[in-house]
Amino acid sequence: MKTRIVKAIGDPEADREVMEEAGRIIRSGGLVAIPTETVYGLAGDALNPRSAGKIYETKGRPSDNPLIVHIADTGSIGRIARDIPDMAYRLAEAYWPGPLTMVLNKTDAVPKETTGGLDTVAVRLPVNKIAREFIAASGGYIAAPSANLSGKPSCTRASHCIEDLDGKIEMIIDGGEVGIGLESTIVDLTEERPCILRQGYINEEMLHSVLGDVRTDPPESAHPKAPGMKYRHYAPGGVLSIVKGKRESVIARINELAASHKERGESCAVISASENASEYGNVIVKDAGSLRNEDEIARRIFSILRELDSDGVQYIYSENFDTPRLGAAITDRMNRAAGFCVINATEED
Ligand code: TXA
Ligand code: MG
């Protein structure tokens, strides 16, 4: 298949032709990769069971892993979700449009193929203008997992989508680099006590301020409530470990490990905060951004994992980016990428 790669800027006039074409593709059961504020998505018609099947097949994703349904306005929610609790409207008021997904009970309009067999549906109203033009032009209900092939880091630029999807889907819409770089926060509202299933830009404190009570699904649970959290994610080709502890101990330990890889003739890289980047020797240094700018670290992290993959680096050590606002979300993604291999550099000092 020939994949059309087109640009959009988020202006309805300028994007009209692209959106008309994209809408036709979606309505006839095809797939389009689209930018959102979090990561790029692989979009299909959420109400068409065959589109869901195509999404699973294209990504190489297990079909029990449900898809998020994206809408363009809050009013669309009634067709796909039922028994919507008051707390959903409060969250929508506070954080929609934006990087927040809510799990609700589904209506019969949503095929089981889209929800991986579940009776619930995950719903998100993105803030990205291109995404919303696209959803509106495509019938209003778009299933979109992250656009990466299953197991690869999420796509934060159109070039990542081209790497993974060129020749496999009808169209890729290039909207430039995404703003956030981490997938949306997911909160389950189907039980009395709301539960965070995936950490993201809308952090625990922000949810707490609206909901009062909120709990978190444990990160290494064998039966996570978001089925996707049980699969190893974002795994780079090399062996990735997270090194945590006091700054000096982390730097010393990584330098020690890097030196031993060098001795054995193995390639090695470190993912470092800008503040520490000049402290490392014998090693490729990937600067993730300043600890004073955690938004930059969040935005860059998946792209760095992809770069390390294409460089074919064998061993990767990452500092632990436990920053105040986005630390929980960044750490979650990095720990998963590392298969929860965490070295505590302070403990053994
Ligand atoms: O930011 C995002 O959410 C991006 C962009 C494209 O919108 N999408 C995204 O989708 O990250 P995906 O498919 O990569 O991750 C969706 C996660 C999976 O872990 C899945 O298991 C969970 O959401 N999920 C979807 N529907 C669910 C449901 N009904 N109940 C529980 N978890 C659900
Ligand atoms: Mg994903």
The mean pLDDT value for 216-229 works out to 81
Q: What is the CA radius of gyration of the chain?
A: 20
Confidence of residue 348 (pLDDT cuts 50, 70, 90): low
Q: Taking Cα atoms as reference points, which of 301, 309, 273, 338 lies closest to residue 156? A: 301
Whole-number average pLDDT of the chain: 95
- Ligand with the closest atom to the CA of 40: 1
Averaged pLDDT for residues 166-171: 98
Q: In this predicted model, what pLDDT tens digit does every residue of 74-99 receive, in sequence order?
A: 999 999 999 999 999 999 999 999 99
pLDDT at 303: 97
Range with the poorest average pLDDT among 74-83, 145-154, 167-176, 223-232: 223-232
Atom of ligand 1 nearest to the CA of 121: 29
CA distance 308 to 97: 33
Answer whether residue 21 shows pLDDT above 80: yes
Tell me the mean pLDDT in the region 138-154: 96
* Mean pLDDT of all residues in 42-69: 96
Confidence at residue 223, expressed as pLDDT on a 0 to 100 scale: 78
Q: How far is CA 216 from CA 92, 194, 263, 303, in A?
A: 19, 9, 43, 27
- pLDDT of amino acid 67: 98
- Residue 231's pLDDT is 65
Q: What is the pLDDT of residues 292-318, one digit of tens each?
A: 999 999 999 999 999 999 999 999 999
Give the pLDDT band of residue 73 (cuts 50, 70, 90): very high
CA of 193 to the centre of ligand 2 (A): 25
pTM (whole model) above 0.95: yes
Q: Return the residue whose CA atom lies nearest to atom 23 of ligand 1.
A: 226
Cα dihedral 37, 296, 101, 227 sign: positive
Would you call the peptide bond into 224 cis, given omega within 30 degrees of 0 as the criterion?
A: no
pLDDT for 237: 86
Check if the beta carbon of residue 100 is closer than 8 Å to that of residue 203: no
If one residue of 64, 67, 68, 172 were mutated to test the ligand 1 pocket, choosing by the most ligand atoms within 8 A of its CB, it would be 68
pLDDT at 10: 97
**H/E element, 319:** strand 315-319
pLDDT average, residue stretch 97-117: 98
Residues with CB under 6 A from ligand 1: 36, 38-39, 41, 65-68, 101, 103, 115, 118, 120-122, 124, 144-146, 183-184, 186, 197, 225-229
Q: Which ligand is nearest to the CA of 36?
A: 1
Nearest CA-CA partner of 302 in 125, 180, 145, 141: 180
DSSP state, 180? S
| Residue range 144-167: mean pLDDT, rounded | 96
* CA contacts within 13 A on the Cβ side of 47: 15
Give the pLDDT of residue 117: 96
Atom of ligand 1 nearest to the CA of 147: 6
Q: Which of 150, 333, 313 is nearest to 239 (CA)?
A: 313
Whether 235 shows a pLDDT value over 80: the answer reads: no
Domains of the chain: 4-216 (3.90.870.10), 239-344 (3.40.50.11030)
71-89 CB burial, b ≥16 within 10 A, e <16: bbeeebbeebbeebbebbe
Mean pLDDT of all residues in 281-299:
96
What pLDDT shows up at residue 220?
73
Q: Which two tokens stand for residue 49?
A: 């069971």
Whole-number pLDDT of residue 232: 65
Nearest CA to ligand 1 atom 15: 145
Strand order in the sheet with 315-319: 284-287, 268-272, 315-319, 239-244, 342-344
C-alpha to C-alpha distance for 66 and 43, rounded to whole angstroms? 13
Q: Which residue has the higher pLDDT, 200 or 223?
A: 200
Instruction: Find the ligand nearest to 42 CA.
Output: 1
